[in-house]
């Protein structure tokens, strides 16, 4: 494994970092306070090709590797976890099933416009009573003529308030557990589909999250994405990507917390010298930097395996677990280093602290991830 970025990857990373420095960081606080979908920045990301980064040129993508996608996610999260969350949803989970299993018409009307930022896609899996226990979901899909009828409620759906199409997980065989799950394409405006209450969150506030209600929604047979009974298997095919990407978000957020802490430790004077010169603070910074680099190695190694065509579920779970915990630790330490200013809304550490909590749940709770890792170990 070569731990160096190629010249092309480094140039791309730097271009995203420049965009973030110029256009994202100056408005990150405002995005958080307004708590609304970041339309202007989302469209700028579309203009620069970020939304279609991992898709082939034939559908309007850039045909980039997984590392480039995760570098983008990391840099965006450095500036705004909210923006990074909505771009990651659009560029991965919200569009992947349509790309892999949609018809040519689906790709023309939905996928390609989505990669241009003209339409919004999302995935609807979690339910009010079922999150980690995906096999227990209650949303049902029943055959009806040359189509299916879907009934159920989804919860915690990213970008639902602005979405044009949804990849919906539903049970076609209630008795088959995970094997009875399938994915369906549901479009905005279909009778019976409605977006329910918006969930007010403590963090990633500009990534709007809502309830979705399906009441006897009829979809044509071609809107079954994949062969019947293959939904969970098809989801598993990108699960390593999802978890590793979530780890990349943690890298960006953690690095932002560390950089802010280092800057403040150099500038804040107490007892006649910068607080960074006190061992209590310098040791905090040293530990934060070490944890960040350890997380980076896990995330990059998992990404490398994905690019080799050999995704590793254990490694992906480790990368997400460690990087998300790292981001939360670094955000917490940043608020401590800033002292009372870390408690003030006008300073960034409190936002890092709130946003980092999102990483504990997205891509799988850490209790579930530990079980995945143990199972992969043969325990």
- Verify that 107 and 128 share a domain, yes or no: no
Q: Is residue 299 part of a domain?
A: yes
Name the DSSP class of 200.
P
* CATH number of the domain within which 158 lies: 2.40.110.10
* CATH number of the domain within which 316 lies: 1.20.140.10
> What gap in Å lies between CA 92 and CA 243, rounded to an integer?
11
| Tokens 């009573």 -> residue | 129
Query: If you average pLDDT over each of 119-133, 175-189, 278-292, which comes out highest?
Result: 278-292
246-284 burial, b at 16+ Cβ within 10 Å, e below that, comes to bbbbbbbbbbbbbebbbebbeebeeeeeebbeeeebeeb
- Structure token digits, residue 36: 């609304």
Within 8 A by CB and 6+ apart from 374, the residues are: none
> What gap in Å lies between CA 80 and CA 182, rounded to an integer?
33
> What gap in Å lies between CA 65 and CA 214, rounded to an integer?
36
Q: Is residue 346 part of a domain?
A: yes
pLDDT at 115: 98
pLDDT band at 269 (very low <50, low <70, confident <90, very high): very high
Report the alpha-carbon angle 97-187-210, nearest 5: 90
Closest CA to 113 of 134, 132, 94, 130: 94
Report whether pLDDT(256) > 70: yes
- Verify that 66 and 158 share a domain, yes or no: no
Mean pLDDT of 12-22: 98
What does the pLDDT look like over 270-284, one tens digit per residue?
999 999 999 999 999
Q: Is residue 1 part of a domain?
A: no
> What gap in Å lies between CA 375 and CA 369, rounded to an integer?
10
Beta bridge partners of 194: 213
State the Cα torsion 311-315-318-324 to the nearest 10°: -40
What does the pLDDT look like over 71-95, one tens digit per residue?
999 999 999 999 999 999 999 999 9
Q: State which of 188, 206, 227 marks the end of a domain.
A: 227
pLDDT band at 1 (very low <50, low <70, confident <90, very high): low
Category of 133 on φ-ψ map: left (φ > 0), alpha (ψ -120 to 50) or beta: beta
Q: State which of 163, 195, 227 marks the end of a domain.
A: 227
- Verify that 242 and 175 share a domain, yes or no: no
- Verify that 277 and 366 share a domain, yes or no: yes
pLDDT band at 331 (very low <50, low <70, confident <90, very high): very high
- Verify that 44 and 106 share a domain, yes or no: yes
pLDDT at 129: 87
Closest CA to 138 of 159, 169, 114, 109: 169
CA 11 to chain centre: 23
Please state, for a pLDDT cut of 70, what percent of the chain lies above it. 100
- Verify that 16 and 49 share a domain, yes or no: yes
The answer to whether 151 touches 122, Cβ cutoff 8 Å, is: no
> What gap in Å lies between CA 79 and CA 90, rounded to an integer?
18
Beta-carbon neighbour count of residue 209 at 10 Å?
Answer: 20
Three-class DSSP category at 156: strand
* CATH number of the domain within which 36 lies: 1.10.540.10
pLDDT at 132: 78
- Verify that 327 and 221 share a domain, yes or no: no
Mean pLDDT of 201-227: 97
What does the pLDDT look like over 110-165, one tens digit per residue?
999 999 999 999 999 999 988 777 888 999 999 999 999 999 999 999 999 999 99
Judging by DSSP bridges, how do beta strands 121-124 and 165-171 pair with one another? parallel
pLDDT band at 175 (very low <50, low <70, confident <90, very high): confident
Give the dihedral sign, CA 114/117/119/120: positive
Q: State which of 174, 203, 227 marks the end of a domain.
A: 227
- Verify that 133 and 209 share a domain, yes or no: yes
> What gap in Å lies between CA 351 and CA 356, rounded to an integer?
8
| Tokens 């791309």 -> residue | 12
**Is pLDDT larger for residue 364 or for residue 74?**
74
- Structure token digits, residue 291: 């944890």
- Verify that 51 and 157 share a domain, yes or no: no
Judging by DSSP bridges, how do beta strands 165-171 and 147-158 pair with one another? unpaired
Structural domain total, the chain = 3
Q: Is residue 264 part of a domain?
A: yes
pTM, to two decimals: 0.95
Residue-averaged pLDDT of the chain: 96
| Tokens 């405006």 -> residue | 189
pLDDT at 3: 78
Three-class DSSP category at 259: helix
Give me the domain span that covers residue 108. Answer: 7-115
Report whether pLDDT(363) > 80: yes
- Verify that 241 and 309 share a domain, yes or no: yes
Q: Is residue 2 part of a domain?
A: no
pLDDT at 324: 98
pLDDT at 22: 98
- Structure token digits, residue 341: 């200013």
Report whether pLDDT(2) > 80: no
């Amino acid at each position: 494994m070569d731990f160096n970025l190629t010249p092309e990857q480094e140039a791309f990373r730097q271009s995203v970092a420049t965009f973030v420095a110029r256009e994202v960081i100056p408005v990150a606080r405002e995005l958080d306070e307004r708590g609304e979908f970041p339309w202007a920045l989302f469209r700028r990301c579309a203009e620069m090709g970020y939304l279609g980064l991992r898709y082939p040129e034939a559908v309007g993508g850039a045909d980039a590797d997984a590392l480039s996608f995760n570098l983008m996610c990391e840099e965006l999260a450095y500036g705004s976890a909210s923006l990074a969350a909505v771009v990651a949803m659009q560029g991965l989970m919200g569009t992947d099933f349509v790309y892999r299993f949609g018809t040519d018409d689906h790709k023309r009307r939905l996928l390609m416009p989505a990669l241009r930022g003209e339409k919004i896609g999302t995935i609807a899996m979690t339910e009010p009573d079922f999150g980690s226990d995906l096999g227990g979901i209650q949303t049902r899909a029943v055959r009806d003529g040359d189509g299916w009828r879907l009934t159920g409620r989804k919860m915690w759906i990213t970008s639902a308030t602005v979405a044009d199409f949804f990849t919906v997980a539903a049970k076609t065989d209630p008795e088959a557990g995970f094997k009875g799950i399938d994915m369906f394409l549901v479009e905005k405006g279909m009778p019976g589909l409605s977006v329910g209450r918006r969930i007010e969150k403590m963090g990633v506030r500009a990534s709007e999250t809502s309830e979705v209600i399906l009441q006897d929604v009829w979809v044509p047979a071609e809107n079954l994405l994949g062969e019947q009974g293959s939904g969970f298997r098809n989801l598993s095919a990108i699960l390593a990507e999802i978890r590793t990407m979530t780890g990349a978000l943690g890298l960006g957020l953690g690095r932002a917390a560390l950089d802010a802490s280092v800057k403040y430790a150099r500038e804040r004077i107490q007892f006649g010298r910068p607080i960074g010169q006190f061992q209590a603070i310098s040791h905090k910074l040293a530990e934060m930097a070490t944890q960040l680099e350890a997380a980076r190695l896990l995330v990059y190694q998992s990404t490398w395996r994905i690019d080799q065509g050999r995704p590793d579920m254990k490694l992906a779970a480790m990368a997400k677990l460690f990087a998300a915990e790292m981001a939360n630790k670094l955000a917490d330490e940043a608020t401590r280093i800033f002292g009372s200013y870390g408690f003030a809304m006008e300073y960034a550490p409190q936002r890092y602290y709130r946003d980092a909590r999102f990483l504990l749940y997205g891509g799988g709770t850490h209790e579930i991830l530990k079980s995945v890792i143990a199972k992969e170990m043969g325990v």
